[in-house]
Amino acid sequence: MKALVALILLVQLPIHKAVPAAPPAPLGCDDPESEAAAGVAVNYINGQSHHGYKFALNRIEDIRVVPQGPNNDIIFLELDLLETTCPILSPTPLANCTVRSFAEHAVEGDCDVKLQKVDGTFSVLASKCHSHADSSEDVLKVCPDCPLLASLNNTEVLETVSAALNDYNSKTTDSYLRLLEIGRAKIQYNPGHVVVTEFAVGATNCSAEEAKANVGDCQLLPEDQSNFGFCTAVMAKGPSQDLQVDCQMYGHQPGVTYAHPGQDTSAGLAPSAVGVTNHNLGLFHNNPVASESSSSEILRSALAAKSVAKRAVAEAAQHDKVPRPVGFVPLPPPCPGKIRHFDI
């Protein structure tokens, strides 16, 4: 009889069903994990770029996480970057590079990056970037007298670069230098006519003295001896033309290469460069160890992830029936994140 009573009582006990764990809150653009992923992405982008200047993070526009399994996530980032004053060949760490000010005619980079995080370690699978200079109108609104970026094949720009490098080569006792690329150029017309240029150079296998005999034999040093540098030149035009040149050589950097043979400036430069004002960050790159067979995969995956994220937000809004107390101030949206420098 006692056993029967115990059985009845046991049957009457309420059954507590296991409550599934709530999904993790979505990452915000300013969360430490988002910033860590962005740091890896920016370093990768600069490592894959071979022209122009290094770029620094300005803002995380969006982040989406697609779980793949335990301790394994695919992460999609949308990043806003800004050009720094450090040439891409410079050994200066990005943390020590200065972002160009708005008045210097800033250049912005927009990047979509796909990463994977496995056991806490990030790796980049693919990236797609492009960059553009701020509009002339925006610069002149803030600084009406600031010179604007000039086309890299502008005749005055080419003349200044040629004159500057020829002047440097005529005075140096070190290696004869060849032009690698023109980085930036600005022309000021008021209060004086001034041309300002920045350009990358490479040391050759000739001394400056040997180059006088046969400059055609002077080629960039081989990869295991390469020495790159960067020059700035200011040409003040007028009755008494004034030229100032400053070049800094970086010394040999193992693993740092330049794919082109460079140009000799002793006979001047032909306007063969494309008429652009800045080197496009134009980067469409797949990591060789990634599983994607096509760069378009990053776009398809990003669109799919964005669709899932939008659907989740819509569902959350539909089910959020909790009344808000008087004076309730909603938290700011998790994305986009903070602006680190300035908005373009």
Residue-level pLDDT at 292:
44
The CA distance from 244 to 166, in Å, is: 12
Lateral strand order in the sheet of 107-118: 53-69, 72-87, 107-118, 121-133, 283-286
Q: Where does the pLDDT of residue 240 fall: very low under 50, low under 70, confident under 90, or very high at 90 and above?
A: confident
pLDDT digits (tens, 9 = 90+) for 63-85: 999 999 999 999 999 999 999 99
Picking from 99, 109, 83, 191, the residue whose alpha carbon sits closest to that of residue 146 is 191
**All domains of the chain in start order, with CATH:** 19-136 (3.10.450.10), 149-254 (3.10.450.10)
pLDDT digits (tens, 9 = 90+) for 264-316: 998 888 887 567 888 888 767 677 655 443 445 554 554 454 554 445 444 44
H-helix segments, 53-198: 136-142, 155-171
The percent of residues in the chain predicted with pLDDT above 90, rounded, is 64
Identify whether the C-beta of residue 99 lies closer than 8 Å to the C-beta of residue 341.
Answer: yes
The CA distance from 183 to 198, in Å, is: 5
pLDDT digits (tens, 9 = 90+) for 207-228: 999 999 889 899 999 999 999 9
Residues facing 123 on adjacent strands: 116
Identify whether the C-beta of residue 194 lies closer than 8 Å to the C-beta of residue 235.
Answer: yes
